[in-house]
A and B are shown apart, each in its own frame.
Chain A
Amino acid sequence: GQSLEQPSEVTAVEGAIVQINCTYQTSGFYGLSWYQQHDGGAPTFLSYNGLDGLEETGRFSSFLSRSDSYGYLLLQELQMKDSASYFCAVRDTGGFKTIFGAGTRLFVKA
Chain B
Amino acid sequence: SQTIHQWPATLVQPVGSPLSLECTVEGTSNPNLYWYRQAAGRGLQLLFYSVGIGQISSEVPQNLSASRPQDRQFILSSKKLLLSDSGFYLCAWTKTYEQYFGPGTRLTVT
Residues of A within 8 A of B (CB): 30-31, 33, 35, 41-45, 48, 50, 87, 89, 91, 95-103
**Overall SS of chain B's interface:** strand
CB distance from B92 to the nearest CB of A (A): 8
25 contacting pairs across A/B (C-beta < 8 A) = A30-B97, A31-B97, A33-B98, A33-B99, A35-B99, A41-B104, A42-B90, A42-B101, A42-B103, A42-B104, A43-B99, A43-B101, A45-B100, A87-B44, A91-B97, A95-B97, A96-B32, A96-B57, A97-B46, A98-B94, A99-B46, A100-B46, A101-B43, A102-B43, A103-B42
Cβ contact within 8 Å between A98 and B99? yes
Residues of B within 8 A of A (CB): 32, 34, 36, 42-44, 46, 49, 51, 57, 59, 90, 94, 97-104
